[in-house]
Chain A
Amino acid sequence: MTFSSSFLAVLVYGSLGWCTFTALGLGGLLIRDIRRGEIW
């Protein structure tokens, strides 16, 4: 039994999409914290 091509595709594209989303999310969180004066 082997991992299928579609499963590999989900892992690869999913992880790249997830990373993109988290990078954008981190940037958004930083802007929110700066606006609120809560960065540190």
Chain B
Amino acid sequence: MSVEQALLPPWLGWTLLLGFSVLWIGLGAYWGRRNKSFEDHALAGRNIGLALGSATAAATWITSNTTMLAPQMALQLGVWGMLAYSTASLGLFLFAPMATRIRQLMPTGYTSGDFFRLRYGRVAWGIFLAFTLFYSLTWLVSMAMAGGILLNTLSGIPYGWGMSVILAVCVAYTMRGGLGAVIGTDFIQSLIIIIGIVVVGIAVLAHVGVDEIHANLSRERPELLNVLFPAALMAIFNNLLFGLGEVFHNNVWWSRAFAFREGLAGKAFALGGLIWFPIPFAAGFIALASGALDVPVPSADMVGPLVVAKVLGIGGAVGIFVIVFCSLASSIDSLLAATSDLLTEDVYRRLLRPSASPETLKATAQWITLGLGLFTWVVCLPRVGTLASVLFFAGPLVGAMIWPIVTGLYWRRASTTGAVGGMLLGAGVGLVSYFAIGFYVASLVATAVSMVWVLACALLSRSRFDWSQLREAS
């Protein structure tokens, strides 16, 4: 987007960008002083309290997708679009009891990879690593790319510069401060995002009432109020399963389960879900107001910022810039930390250097964080605009991992054959349906096929897993 079309002048965008960059890096450096070993760096000493724990669960799930895509979904799918998006909070609610179980079964575990290796063996572990690394790197790249595009759209900062700065800042404070810095900054970022969304929502309502919005929609876009909107109803299931698969398998969430103080993991994730649940409504209804406010929307993904700029002027544009920047940072830093820990623990420590000291592992995790940042930067630089579809492509992969994880955590009969077959068959059939039918059924098909295989294998299995084997993770 050209500088003339941007909502903020570039000098103001740069000032905000540099101000927050200094703040995050300073906090990361300050909090990183406590880290002496890999456990301190990767899991913040396993001692995170309830306030930081709840905030980080919510903040990590509030990606730029939430703040930008929720209005877009509301504009395209109406009231059901917001409801569909809010179902992603179920991932956090359902992971709450699982997190408690994970801490009980694996009190010294580090990663979700540890679970697959100890529960199902090396073949399943290898498949899991391939799936989760593909998904995590795709998510990381799409977030960094979204950062460059959004900063360019909001303030006219050139794409390459915006993407590079936000990535460099996240790499710097994650390298220095590890998960502690990520969780600490998540708390501040979550408060900024929530307060910002409330202020924006009140400002919109001050300009146009709900009755007026409803009347305008009834006249101009009645399908957005339709209780039986077919496309929106399908989006609910896909969004729900994608969210469940993402939270259940990804080390972003498992590392937090290991990092929270004993007895708090379940509570923190449940509170995180409660914090996250209203965000798609509060951020999404802004888009529904665009018609009543007479805001022209040239592109659906820009509806949120355009409405906010209309009702709040330059102050609103500053607010949306800060909200988007915080949303991006809270997801990019978590992905960098969790993926780096996964590579350090599951690849470097378990495959290459089993005798590495805690200090060496910490240094390795920091170098891997830097390497991930450089890899992401190189991939993002050409600005390929098709990565959203690649992320949807990963939907079947994460959907196929839901049942091996859930049954593996709770059912002694769950077997390696079930897990390996469930992941491969589910992902395979899911990908076929992705190309043959569409992205909106891919996760659903993958999850269903995986479920049938995993449950059938478990029912036929004669083996009974000994839970104490999971305690070997340290």
B447-466 interface with A by 8 A CB criterion:
none
A26-B191, A38-B49, A40-B180 known; A5+B214 contact, CB < 8 A: yes
Chain B residue nearest in CB terms to A27: B191
Residue of A7, A14, A19 contacting most chain B CB atoms (<10 Å): A19
| Contacting residues, chain A, for B197 (C-beta < 8 A) | 19
A: number of interface residues (CB 8 Å): 28
Question: Residues of A with Cβ closer than 8 Å to B?
Answer: 1-5, 7-9, 11-16, 18-20, 22-23, 26-27, 29-30, 32-33, 38-40
Q: Measured between alpha carbons, how far is A30 from B187 in the docked complex, in Å?
A: 9
Residue of A11, A39, A40 contacting most chain B CB atoms (<10 Å): A40
A29 near B54 with CB under 8 A, answer: yes
Q: Which 10 interchain pairs have the tightest Cβ spacing?
A: A15-B281, A15-B278, A29-B51, A5-B214, A18-B278, A30-B51, A2-B225, A15-B282, A33-B49, A9-B210
A19 near B50 with CB under 8 A, answer: no
Which of B21-29, B40-48, B347-355 forms part of the interface with chain A? B40-48
Q: Measured between alpha carbons, how far is A22 from B146 in the docked complex, in Å?
A: 27
Chain A residue nearest in CB terms to B213: A8
A8 near B214 with CB under 8 A, answer: yes
A19 near B279 with CB under 8 A, answer: yes
| Contacting residues, chain B, for A4 (C-beta < 8 A) | 214
A5-B210, A11-B79, A30-B187 known; A38+B281 contact, CB < 8 A: no
> Is B274 part of the contact surface with A, judged by Cβ < 8 Å?
yes
B: number of interface residues (CB 8 Å): 47
Chain B residue nearest in CB terms to A1: B227
Chain B residue nearest in CB terms to A31: B51
Question: Residues of B with Cβ closer than 8 Å to A?
Answer: 44-45, 47-52, 54-55, 78-79, 82, 180, 183-184, 187, 190-191, 194-195, 197-198, 201-202, 205, 210-211, 213-215, 218, 222, 225-228, 261, 274-275, 277-279, 281-282, 285, 288
B226 near A20 with CB under 8 A, answer: no
How far in angstroms is the closest Cβ of chain A from B93? 15
A15-B281, A19-B282, A40-B52 known; A2+B226 contact, CB < 8 A: yes
Q: Measured between alpha carbons, how far is A3 from B44 in the docked complex, in Å?
A: 46
| Contacting residues, chain B, for A39 (C-beta < 8 A) | 49, 51-52
| Contacting residues, chain B, for A15 (C-beta < 8 A) | 201, 278-279, 281-282, 285
Q: Measured between alpha carbons, how far is A14 from B198 in the docked complex, in Å?
A: 11
Q: Measured between alpha carbons, how far is A38 from B190 in the docked complex, in Å?
A: 20
How far in angstroms is the closest Cβ of chain B from A19? 5
B202 near A26 with CB under 8 A, answer: no
A5-B211, A8-B79, A12-B210 known; A20+B51 contact, CB < 8 A: no
Q: Measured between alpha carbons, how far is A12 from B278 in the docked complex, in Å?
A: 9
